[in-house]
A = this chain, B = another copy of it.
């Protein structure tokens, strides 16, 4: 068993209302990489957000006094701060110019995942998809229609982490792949229960794709071949939402 990571070349700039499934299927077909059942298509959040119209013109945003105050103190764009706050369910840290928040769907990340770079056009920003698992499932169904093959789909974004420098790709939306591999009950060489019990497979997939996704290179999709991805069993966790630790079990919120 080995795994192959293949960039999907030739994906054009995506705009609101583009048919992303058709565009990705076309790029895959043109690349002649072929697709097989169990392959995983990893897609960066940015192009999903754009196709879904999760794009906001900053000129349309009126910052609240709270947003204005924070933005002024830390030399930020108050309109972006306002959008971050609108996407926020709970502020986790608001310190030294950093705004680490828990978003509506539950992602903990800087600036609610709002990114000003490589937006649709000047003066716009992209927000995270409203429901990344639904986006992944929809994209998967569209790709099945265009390609006639059941791929898994993982939608990713690049976030920082506590304790460590640098950012990595994380899985936000997952369809057709078990997001977590549960080793509980498996025994080690001495029959003792394994210390590591839950593996975040979908985050491993996201990071693997991250090796080829470097933002400036314009590779927004990577095919991961060799994992024989399939739907999780009925009693197993599913979707990227399974990777969200409930706040009440979290020591760092």
Contact = CB atoms under 8 A, between A and B. Distances in A.
Contact of A196 (B196, B215, B237): B215
A116 to B, nearest CB: 6
Contact of A208 (B115, B193, B208): B208
A36 interface: no
A29 interface: no
A117 interface: yes
Contacts of A214: 181, 183, 199
Given A118-B190, A203-B207, 20 more contacts: A2-B6, A3-B208, A5-B226, A100-B251, A116-B195, A118-B189, A161-B162, A162-B253, A164-B244, A164-B245, A166-B179, A166-B200, A166-B243, A168-B203, A181-B214, A183-B214, A196-B215, A201-B211, A204-B211, A252-B252
A60 interface: no
A198 interface: yes
Interface string A195-233: 110111101111110111011100000000011000000
Nearest to A170: B164
16 contacts: A2-B7, A3-B5, A3-B208, A5-B5, A5-B208, A96-B251, A115-B196, A116-B192, A116-B195, A122-B190, A162-B245, A165-B244, A166-B199, A166-B203, A208-B208, A208-B211
A186 interface: yes
A172 B112 CA distance: 29
B164 A243 contact: yes
